[in-house]
Structure 1
Amino acid sequence: MKITDYQKVQTLDESNIFLIDGNNGTKTILASNLAKALIGLLSSKDFISGVNLSELTQINTLSADDKLLIGTTDGNKAIGADDALFAILDAFVPKEQRRMIYRGKNLGSVITEEQKANIKNGTFKGFFLGDYWSIGSYTWRIVDFDYWYNCGDTAFTKSHLVIMPDKPLYNAQMNETNITTGGYTGSKMYKENLNQAKTLISSAFGSLVLTRREYLTNAVTDGYPSAGAWFDSSVELPNEIMMYGSLVFTPACDGKIVVNRYTTGKTQLALFTVVPKMISNRSTFWLRDVVSSAYFAYVNGYGGTSYDNASNSYGVRPVFAIG
């Protein structure tokens, strides 16, 4: 359903009546009860955070296949119950809450001009967490909204979607030998092995890929990240915090050495908070965190956290912003 269709729906009162065309005939329902039923419809799915579903009354026999007849300025339109739910949310939910409402809709094989406009203007109309584009042979999924807004030594103030592929794009080494000298920015991954990912991402999203400023490690002493600097950043490996919401193997303060995290990626990406099963997807891929003088962190395909020698070849599943 097009956004322009349901934007034409007249202002509703809770006493307004809707017609529902279901398996057992056409029934009428109050707008207030319809709203509760629509939310209850997806209560068993990875749907919405912060809603107490026990307080909502579900309408019996309402399914995603039922059709709702809605009067609009250009005539009556029939839409699916699931589309109606997200139409209501798209019209009324604040843009900040879109990062907590999982939908997982296929947005197409190309970004439309309307989609581009709604990213750039910061309304994010037509987008919810987990929505994705199928471009080429890859699934490019929305994992957060405005995650890096106002971050950087130069403030990043462009409205943006944060995108990751569902699976690694290919496998590569962090370094040719088991060293972490120079930290993440000193690695072969950063200098060379991300280039293929940048090419694939540029092919899919073109000029929509944004460059921002990111704080990254550039030195390691005794296995600890010991220095960092601000770099122009477009496509990077994620870190442990972005994936798990906390540090796991990255060295911590031991009472003598105070460790700087060298990152603006300081909170878990929204998709992995709302739908944690999508962290690994049974795939193994590198993270940019230095663990020791020989190890970098990675996400284990079995669902665990882990680390390994820098010379091993694991997946490259990068993160980037479009806008």
Structure 2
Amino acid sequence: MMKVLRKQEVSIQTTGEFKVGDQIQIGKYTATCQKVTRKGALFLLDQYLDEVFKMNRENTNEGGYEASDLRKELRENSVLEIFDSVREMMVPFKNGDLLRIPYAEEFFGDVDSYEPSGKKQWPLMENRKNRIAIREGEAYEWGWLQNKLKSSGTYFANVHGYGTTNYDNASNSYGVRPVLRLRLG
């Protein structure tokens, strides 16, 4: 049974009827519903995972996020077991993954310098404070996004610690805020 927190925990639901802004508890993390579609409700962790990750051990963006070491890490049981409390409700994405990271457009809207994804900005991300996250015991930090920088063979997009867009080498270590999709009803 999942506890859904709405507006300072005023109402609790366990039915899987989500709306944008709903928060759920996943272990020691919270996640906020960013979008609801017929395929399910997209939730984004409000904090970075405890461990920082490299997009790729080698400094390349060849193959994009789909071919990245980070994607492989998010498919490992050591990461997936964090989501055991909601695992039965998780709906795989088109590529079969249960977790992914956000696209630059989902955080910032259209961003010309990155390879486009065709995604739209999540309404809650219009407020810069929602793009900012921390890792337990750390100050605000940077976090990975899926998009490659158009003009580079090594850079991926990321969120700067102040909630603005940036990019950096794939072999740098940054925070990760997984996105998961939960089935409705």
Tell me whether the two structures share a fold, i.e. TM-score over 0.5: yes
In 2, the alpha carbon distance for the partners of 1:311 and 1:107 equals 43
Alignment CA distance shift 1:278-1:239 (3 Å): same
Report the Cα offset of residue 277 of structure 1. Answer: 1.7
Conserved 8 A contact 2:104-2:157: yes
Question: Equivalent residues in 2 for 1:118-157 (5 A)?
Answer: 119=16, 124=17, 127-146=18-37, 149=38
Letter in 2 for 1:318: P
- Partner in structure 2 of residue 183 of structure 1: 64
Query: Residues 21-70 of structure 1, C-alpha deviation per residue, up to 9 Å, x if partnerless?
Result: xxxxxxxxxxxxxxxxxxxxxxxxxxxxxxxxxxxxxxxxxxxxxxxxxx
In 2, the alpha carbon distance for the partners of 1:106 and 1:140 equals 14
- Partner in structure 1 of residue 8 of structure 2: 105
Conserved 8 A contact 2:128-2:164: no
Question: Equivalent residues in 2 for 1:17-166 (5 A)?
Answer: 104-106=7-9, 115-116=14-15, 119=16, 124=17, 127-146=18-37, 149=38, 158=39, 160-166=40-46
Alignment CA distance shift 1:279-1:104 (3 Å): farther
Conserved 8 A contact 2:26-2:86: no
- The two structures have a TM-score, normalised by structure 2, of 0.79
Conserved 8 A contact 2:74-2:100: no
Alignment CA distance shift 1:132-1:175 (3 Å): same
The answer on 1:209 being equivalent to 2:90 is yes
Conserved 8 A contact 1:285-1:300: yes
In 1, the alpha carbon distance for the partners of 2:75 and 2:105 equals 20
- Partner in structure 2 of residue 287 of structure 1: 145
Query: Residues 146-196 of structure 1, C-alpha deviation per residue, up to 9 Å, x if partnerless?
Result: 1xx4xxxxxxxx4x2211111111310011121112221111111235534
Match of 1:233 among 87, 91, 97: 97
Conserved 8 A contact 2:155-2:167: yes
Q: Which has the higher contact order (CA 8 A, sep 6+)?
A: 2
Query: Residues 221-240 of structure 1, C-alpha deviation per residue, up to 9 Å, x if partnerless?
Result: xxxxxxxxxx2232111110
In 1, the alpha carbon distance for the partners of 2:32 and 2:9 equals 9
Higher helix share: 1
In 2, the alpha carbon distance for the partners of 1:165 and 1:297 equals 18
- Partner in structure 2 of residue 277 of structure 1: 129
Identity of aligned residues (%): 30
Q: Which has the larger Rg? A: 1
Report the Cα offset of residue 248 of structure 1. Answer: 4.8
Alignment CA distance shift 1:106-1:248 (3 Å): farther
Q: How many residues align?
A: 168
Conserved 8 A contact 1:174-1:310: yes
| Structure 1 residue runs of 4 or more that deviate by more than 3 Å after TM superposition | 103-108
Query: Residues 63-115 of structure 1, C-alpha deviation per residue, up to 9 Å, x if partnerless?
Result: xxxxxxxxxxxxxxxxxxxxxxxxxxxxxxxxxxxxxxxx643489xxx8x62
Runs of 5+ consecutive residues of structure 1 not aligned to the other structure: 1-102, 150-157, 214-230, 252-260
**SS at structure 1 position matched to 2:43:** strand
Runs of 5+ consecutive residues of structure 2 not aligned to the other structure: 1-5, 134-139
Q: RMSD in angstroms over aligned alpha carbons? A: 2.4
**SS at structure 1 position matched to 2:129:** helix
Conserved 8 A contact 2:74-2:99: no
Query: Residues 112-132 of structure 1, C-alpha deviation per residue, up to 9 Å, x if partnerless?
Result: 8x623xx3xxxx3xx543221
The answer on 1:198 being equivalent to 2:51 is no
**SS at structure 2 position matched to 1:163:** strand
In 2, the alpha carbon distance for the partners of 1:317 and 1:276 equals 16
